């Protein structure tokens, strides 16, 4: 199985929806996009225990994907998933496969847009500005200073959460951090520099969607205590 990202598909879609095995979405679909409802993967089909009905399917997918893959390496190990996309979502799953809550913050691009939109002199940066290379630690140029500051803020939030779940009051042993999302590659060296141990999984949501589609929804949720 191989997962990858491509630019937004044209309309009509290059692959007829009737041939799709599964799809998932958070919120409403874009106008004019008609996908087969029976093939939609819902929150109820993600085999994690304790999922609240309002949780986004993206967080459920990455939480289950990280936990199930970690279980093959070290059973009963809790996981913390940092999904660094438009939002930076932190999702905690215990060693028994139960959702244990999380945190939400603005992702790097959202932070940059907020800075530009809510201040008088800070510029609006396009995506190419900040993705490669990462600016030096203390930039002179304003745009680079914005990028470095937002990246450091995201990395600090992840690192702090990882240390908290592995602190003296942690339950269930060492919690493994999984890093995914579009900003994961940029955040990875900053986390490594702080001594944070993590597993990088850039396509975790897509991998998890594909894996669940192959099961035909036959996996059972963890009941747990």
Q: Indicate which CATH number applies to the domain containing 116.
A: 3.30.420.40
Is 96 among the domain residues? yes
Question: Does the annotation count 58 as an active-site position?
Answer: yes
CA triple 12-18-23, angle to 5 deg? 85
Per-position pLDDT tens, the chain of length 225: 555 556 666 565 667 777 778 889 888 887 777 788 888 999 999 999 999 999 999 999 999 999 999 999 999 999 999 999 999 999 999 999 999 999 999 999 999 999 999 999 999 987 666 666 888 999 999 999 999 999 999 999 999 999 999 987 665 568 999 999 999 999 999 999 999 999 999 999 999 999 999 886 555 555 444
Q: Is residue 173 part of a domain?
A: yes
Kindly write down the DSSP assignment for every residue of 86-147, as one continuous string: SEEEEEEE-TTSBEEEEEEEE-HHHHHHHHHHHSSSPPPPPHHHHHSSPPPSS-SSHHHHHH
Catalytic residue, candidates 58, 83, 94, 96: 58
Q: What is the pLDDT of residue 184?
A: 96
Residue with tokens 């994690």: 48
d(CA 183, CA 86): 9
pLDDT for res 224: 47
Question: What was the pLDDT predicted at 23?
Answer: 87
Any domain includes 6: no
pLDDT value of position 19: 76
How far apart are alpha carbons 42 and 23 in whole angstroms?
Answer: 9
Looking at the structure of the chain, the number of domains it has is 1
Please tell me the predicted confidence (pLDDT) of residue 197: 95
Indicate the burial class of 6 (C-beta count within 10 angstroms; 0-12, 13-18, 19 or more): exposed
Q: What is the residue range of 72's domain?
A: 17-215
Q: Flag whether 159 is in a domain.
A: yes
In a domain, 5, yes or no: no
Q: Give the pLDDT score at 225.
A: 43
Tell me if 175 is assigned to some domain: yes
| 4 within some domain | no
Would you say residue 1 lies in a domain? no
């Amino acid at each position: 199985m191989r997962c990858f990202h491509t630019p937004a598909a044209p309309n009509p879609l290059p692959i007829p929806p009737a041939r799709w095995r599964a799809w998932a979405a958070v919120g409403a679909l874009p106008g004019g996009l008609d996908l087969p409802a029976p093939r939609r993967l819902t929150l109820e089909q993600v085999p994690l225990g304790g999922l609240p009905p309002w949780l986004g399917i993206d967080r459920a997918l990455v939480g289950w994907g990280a936990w199930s893959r970690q279980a093959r390496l070290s059973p009963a190990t809790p996981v913390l998933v940092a999904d660094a996309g438009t939002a930076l979502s932190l999702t905690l799953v215990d060693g028994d496969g139960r959702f244990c809550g999380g945190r939400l913050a603005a992702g790097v691009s959202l932070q940059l847009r907020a800075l530009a939109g809510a201040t008088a002199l800070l510029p609006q940066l396009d995506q190419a500005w900040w993705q490669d290379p990462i600016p030096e630690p203390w930039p002179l140029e304003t745009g680079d200073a914005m990028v470095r500051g937002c990246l450091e803020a995201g990395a600090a939030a992840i690192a702090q959460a990882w240390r908290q779940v592995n602190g003296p009051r942690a339950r269930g042993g060492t919690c493994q951090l999984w890093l995914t999302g579009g900003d994961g590659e940029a955040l990875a060296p900053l986390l490594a520099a702080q001594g944070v141990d993590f597993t990088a999984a850039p396509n975790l949501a897509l991998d998890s969607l594909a894996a669940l589609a192959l099961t035909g929804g036959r996996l059972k949720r963890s009941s747990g205590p």
